[in-house]
Structure 1
Amino acid sequence: MANPFFQFKQFTVWHDKCAMKVGTDGVLLGAWASVQDAHRILDIGTGTGLVALMLAQRSLPDAKVIALEIDEAAARQAKENVTRSLWKDRIEVVKQDFLSYQSLDKFDVVVSNPPYFVDSLSCPDQQRNMARHNNSLTYEKLLERVADLLAEEGLFTVVIPTDVADRVRTIASAHSLHAVRSLNVITKPGGAPKRTLITFSFHDQECVVEELLTEVARHQYSEEYIALTREYYLNMK
């Protein structure tokens, strides 16, 4: 039986009630997304609450994090994880569909590890389907709503499959969101990137493109990956 929780240096994430467990995509997003000078942060599709907790750990002491989750069981578990954490007063888990979410105040930072299996077959588990497939939250709808909620100087960071990165950039540009930073993630030496993280801004400027190799050999992390995640993983010194 899989471990029902994942222990980080400063918090524990229980994920036994969530369709999508703690994984590399979420850790990369939580560690790489910029939160510099951010006072209001929105995590779309928080799942276990992992990314919200990671961002709270390294953001300003007065930064407020809203963690949105549409699935009831996942939202409940995220609330439990947040309640056990050092940042329970700064993170609010909201059980709501992002497409109907409203906020009077804009956000300095918006992040999302969205459902992305656009063309894959659905699995029988409805909860897992909702977490993995973007039938209800398409990239078009995601970016349209992000543009409405993001502050003028704000940043939106998303982790997506590399093969849809160009399409997502095109959709974003239709909403005046421009890629200013991207990270292509490679899991083994000589491999092609399978995941890309992109940060968007309303300001059009040259995009800084970076590359990250996560493992130099099986279960042997690269120095770059260790440097990025050492503040979170227990085994990263």
Structure 2
Amino acid sequence: MARNSFFKFKQFTIDQDKSAMKVCTDACVFGAWADVENAKRILDIGAGTGLLSMMVAQRNKTAKISAVELDVEAYLQATENVFKSPFHNQIEVFNAAIQDFSLNEKFDCIITNPPFFQSDLKSPDAKINLAHHADSLSFDDLLISVERLLLPNGSWNVLLPVDEGLIFQDLAKKSGWNLALELTLYHQKGKKAFRKLTRFNKDEMADNRPVTSELFIYEEDGKTYHSEFKKLLKDYYLIF
């Protein structure tokens, strides 16, 4: 197997040779950070390899998880990854566009790392375009889908680059969602932030202000993993 064709975690392995969405640090942070502990039914929009579904299944062993993936090859790979994992009884993978997806029941928690490029130059690789560009799932379509699939008292978590994340927060606010939690992710202190991890719900907040925090992957030397990063990922990464 090629060197980068799989990524091994403490409790499961992600094969990723067929998927345009490879395992990346920000997605791992998101899977360990997203608020899923008390959820009974979780929806993973844009499941890719199944990484996020398995990360949250490891944290919430009683939740039932529906993982929805549009790309056929990624869907097949996610299905294989889930089948080989300890969490195969918790997770069901669906090959569908989220705009068309529905079950008989709604979800109390949604996680998503959606396509985010709204206008950037596209790659010659069609699968990379599908994974990264919003042609297949615009921000407006995502908000409509969340409204349709989430229970009224549910919450949902989204991972986006900083600029796109700020645009999305504004759109979510206009759609009636409150930003409850926000984590800004940096490579190290002194570097520009590169990801926003956010949680939305419709609960009224007393001061109308979200709880915000920051996370650095590395210490200031750019080589040593930051203690808070290690704490967050210690149940997943073999090196911790």
Tell me the secondary structure at the aligned position of residue 108 of structure 1.
strand
Does 2:8 align with 1:7?
A: yes
Mapped contact 2:116–2:164 kept (Cα < 8 A): no
Tell me the secondary structure at the aligned position of residue 237 of structure 2.
coil
Q: Distance in 2 between matches of 1:198 and 1:116?
A: 14
> Where does residue 198 of structure 1 map in the other structure?
198
> Where does residue 63 of structure 1 map in the other structure?
63
Mapped contact 1:147–1:175 kept (Cα < 8 A): no
Q: Distance in 2 between matches of 1:2 and 1:120?
A: 30
Tell me the secondary structure at the aligned position of residue 171 of structure 1.
helix
Does 2:210 align with 1:207?
A: yes
Mapped contact 1:25–1:113 kept (Cα < 8 A): no
Deviation at 1:148?
A: 1.5
Q: Distance in 1 between matches of 2:43 and 2:135?
A: 22
Tell me the secondary structure at the aligned position of residue 213 of structure 2.
strand
Tell me the secondary structure at the aligned position of residue 220 of structure 1.
coil
Does 2:239 align with 1:235?
A: yes
Q: Distance in 1 between matches of 2:22 and 2:89?
A: 24
Q: Structure 1 length normalisation: TM-score?
A: 0.96
User: Could you tell me which amino acid in structure 1 is paired with residue 237 of structure 2?
Assistant: Y
Gaps of 5+ in 1: none
> Where does residue 35 of structure 2 map in the other structure?
34
The Cα offsets for residues 85-114 of structure 1, whole Å up to 9 and x where unpaired, read as 001011001010011111221111101011
> Where does residue 54 of structure 1 map in the other structure?
55
The Cα offsets for residues 104-158 of structure 1, whole Å up to 9 and x where unpaired, read as 2111110101111222111111111100111121111101210111112211100
Tell me the secondary structure at the aligned position of residue 129 of structure 1.
helix
Tell me the secondary structure at the aligned position of residue 182 of structure 1.
strand
> Where does residue 144 of structure 1 map in the other structure?
144
Gaps of 5+ in 2: none
Aligned residues: 235
Deviation at 1:232?
A: 0.4
Q: Distance in 1 between matches of 2:174 and 2:145?
A: 12
1:21-170 matches, cutoff 5 A: 21-59=22-60, 61-170=61-170
Deviation at 1:50?
A: 0.3
- Greater shift, 119-128 or 161-170, is seen at 161-170
The Cα offsets for residues 23-68 of structure 1, whole Å up to 9 and x where unpaired, read as 1121011100011211100000010000000000011x33100010
Q: Distance in 2 between matches of 1:110 and 1:93?
A: 14
Deviation at 1:3?
A: 2.2
Mapped contact 2:37–2:59 kept (Cα < 8 A): no
- Greater shift, 72-81 or 136-145, is seen at 136-145
Mapped contact 2:7–2:14 kept (Cα < 8 A): yes
Q: Distance in 1 between matches of 2:96 and 2:26?
A: 22
Q: Distance in 1 between matches of 2:117 and 2:165?
A: 13
- Greater shift, 98-107 or 178-187, is seen at 98-107
Tell me the secondary structure at the aligned position of residue 99 of structure 2.
helix
Q: Distance in 2 between matches of 1:55 and 1:157?
A: 12
